Structure 1
């Protein structure tokens, strides 16, 4: 049986006047309780709010959980918890779990954390090796025996011949 849950992104807002915030985790509104899940990497949170400790975060999660465990609708609990101390909640969203298995619920939570909470640097994919353009420029300059940054081209080379590639350009110019 499918079940729909409301959620909000949990943010740390150390100073409302500056408007800086960092996404810490997600708050899922369940029947009569809330499920607060924090991301694994809290580096940005510690940069904005250096005084915060793991104990402070655990305490805040406990307070949010107690305050959110009341018999009110998701919208009413979201409104009541929208700003608690240095924490605020983003807009309400929802997700659906199609079965009763805990793994299905957990996979949705993992997807939300991956989407809304800062990923560790090791998870950021970087381009590997030189780009195709850099390789083509290097090949072209090698065939023409000129600097890749050289502004002078042979008069017989046109923009059209350059688009066809350095080897075709060399064939057309001979």
Structure 2
């Protein structure tokens, strides 16, 4: 089935079935495919809207985790993440999931990873910083694995955070302390 992936037919068939059945295991397989760099990754651009539309509080959490994970793997330079976040109203969803006790750790982690991915776009990072999501991320400082994931190769949002905070908090020393392993 995946032999036809480069032509897009295999992915089209998988996506159609996963979206119709809302099957977390099938979406997990799609997510694994999305991890691979190269030409097949660009085939996912056609499904960004479909995947983003699945990210709602009403959907099965396991399914949402896989949809978020698939989107977070799409590190494609010409993808307009700011438009996606606005069109599918994802920032309020992210903020709600970052509240303590509002979601399972796996979902919170996927939200953090997704924030890191979309923050590669400077305008999107600035939009997130202005959205008020930063205090929710700061709250995660109490959850060491989540903050390490945010900082592990996903540091693109940090300049926007620094600019927004402009010395108004002790977050910078806390981040440095975490990076130094203390």
- Could you say which TM-score interval applies, normalised by the shorter chain? under 0.3
Question: Larger relative contact order (C-alpha < 8 A, sep ≥ 6)?
Answer: 1
Higher strand share: 1
Higher helix share: 2
